Every structure is written in C-alpha cells, then in structure tokens.
Amino acid sequence: MHHFANPTRFLRLADRIQPWAASLTMAFVLSGLYFALLSSPADYQQGETVRIMYIHVPAAWMALFCYTALAVSCAAALIWKHPLASLAGRATAPIGACFTLLALVTGSLWGKPMWGTWWVWDARLTSVLILFFLYLGYMALNNAFDDPERGHKASAILALVGFINVPIIKFSVDWWNTLHQPASVIKMSGPAIHSSMLIPLFLMALAFKAYFVWVLLIRMRGEINAMKVRALRMRQVHDAEQNRSTPVASEAG
C-alpha cells in the first residue's frame, strides 16, 4: 500500500487508469440508459415511474460505498499516516455527498407517485439524511482549520465515528417497519427482480462505480496539485523571511 504513497508514482498509475475509467463510464452509461429507458418493460403496478429505480438504487449503493471508502481511507490516514489517504478522503467526501443527495432527491420524486408523499420520516430515509449531514460535517470540519493537516486529522476521527450509521442504514429496513421496501436485489434467496430489470440496474451500478473512480482520480490530482502549490508558497514565504532577516525585518506592507 505504501508503494503508492509517493505522489509521482500514484499519478503515473492514475494516468493509466483514468482513460479506462472514463471510457467504461461512457460505455456503461450508454448501454445502461438504453436498457433502462427503452428496452426494459414498465412495471405492471408502478408503470413508467419504475425507471427512477435505475438512478435511485445505484446512487444509494454508491452513497454507502463512498462513506465506507471514506472511512477506510481515514483509518489508513490515522493508523499508517499514509499521506495520500487523507487526500483520498477529502476527494471522496463531495462525491459521496452528491450521490447521497441524488438518492434522496430521486427517492423523493419516486415517493410522490408511489407513496403519495415526497417525504416520510421512516428509518431508511432518516438514516440516509443523517448520512448526508455526516458528509457535510466532514467537509466543513476538513476546511475549518488554517493548518490543513489538522483538518485532515480531526475530520478523519469524525468520519470514523460516523461510520456507525452505515450498518444502521443497511439494516434499517429489516429492523423497523418502514414504508421503504426491504432489500430485493442482494439477498440469500437470490434477487427478487426479473432479469429484464436486473440487467439495466447492474449496468447503471457499474456505470456509477466507474464514474466514481474517474472523478476520484481527477479530484485526487487536484488535491495533490493544491498540496504542491501550498508547499511552494510556504517555501517562497520562508525564503523571503530568510532574505529579510537582516535589519529591516519588520517592514509593513
């Protein structure tokens, strides 16, 4: 793992993966949307609105996946002081927050025709809303300090504390009686969805995953560059201080 702690080495690997991630995203989105919007049947009860599922379910999966990735990278940053892990956490959080928001908004749009309401305070919806707030808290805490290192450390601890919420979201539909339906794709007795709907669902899920990798690499690159710029600025300030350490040190402006 520490092999890729070197930013140059990481960037070289990222350069190689990024075009693949981008083209896979494109391929899966196009084929997934074709099956989801044109080639798959409408539901006999829900009608055409069932097609919201092909965005809603993958987005919700990614919301949980991103938080898990965030928690893992924060743990790596705290335990092994892996220099890129805290940047990975910082890069993951906004993506995860967007997926969570997407899941909430599409769920709300789907809830209106199906349940007759935009929002109910049941266990699944509430715990996902809390997940969204946890992402926001992570990002706010990460940016709240003048010293970025302190921000990384503090927000990493918060991310690990918030991880308690992930199993709660996963099992909320089993533990409480909710309006939200229980898991119907990944379960012991096999999926309860017909393959004509399962194929576009998985294609969209793969598309979201590839998109995540693609955007994560772009954001990581940005974070690494920002770190370099900051180091260069610090160097400049330091050098300027050194040069001025002769008599006229405290000159205003």
Partner 1 sequence: MNSFVQIVRRDLNLSFRQGMDSAMVVMFFVIAVVLFPFGVGPEPNILMRIAAGVIWVAALLASMLSLERLFQADFEDGSLEILVLQPVPLEIAVIAKITAHWITTGLPLIIAAPILAVLLNMNADGFGMLIAALALGTPSLSLIGAIGAALILGARRGGVLLSLLILPLYIPVLIFGVSAVDATLAGLSVKPHLLILSALLLSSLALCPWVGAAALRQAMRS
Q: Is 237 helix (H, G, I), strand (E, B) or coil?
A: helix
The C-alpha atoms of residue 120 and residue 126 are separated, in whole angstroms, by 8
Q: Does 153 bind partner 1 (CB under 8 A)?
A: yes
Lookup: tokens for 206? 């793969």
CB atoms within 10 A of CB 211: 21
Q: Figure out which of the listed residues 147, 190, 243, 252 binds partner 1, where binding follows CB under 8 A.
A: 147
Q: Does 177 bind partner 1 (CB under 8 A)?
A: no
Q: Does 150 bind partner 1 (CB under 8 A)?
A: yes
208-124-192 Cα angle (round to 5)? 65
Closest CA to 28 of 217, 204, 209: 204
Q: Does 145 bind partner 1 (CB under 8 A)?
A: yes
Specify whether the CB–CB gap between 119 and 125 falls below 8 A: yes
> Closest CB to partner 1 among 83 and 191?
83
Closest CA to 208 of 59, 17, 96: 59
Kindly state the smallest distance separating residue 138's Cβ from partner 1, in Å: 9
Kindly state the smallest distance separating residue 91's Cβ from partner 1, in Å: 20
The C-alpha atoms of residue 227 and residue 151 are separated, in whole angstroms, by 14
> Closest CB to partner 1 among 30 and 144?
144
Q: Does 199 bind partner 1 (CB under 8 A)?
A: no
Q: Does 75 bind partner 1 (CB under 8 A)?
A: no
> Closest CB to partner 1 among 119 and 145?
145
Kindly state the smallest distance separating residue 136's Cβ from partner 1, in Å: 7
Specify whether the CB–CB gap between 161 and 141 falls below 8 A: no
> Closest CB to partner 1 among 25 and 172?
172
Which residues would be at the binding site for partner 1 (CB under 8 A)? 126, 130, 133-134, 136-137, 140-141, 144-147, 149-150, 153-155, 157-158, 160-162
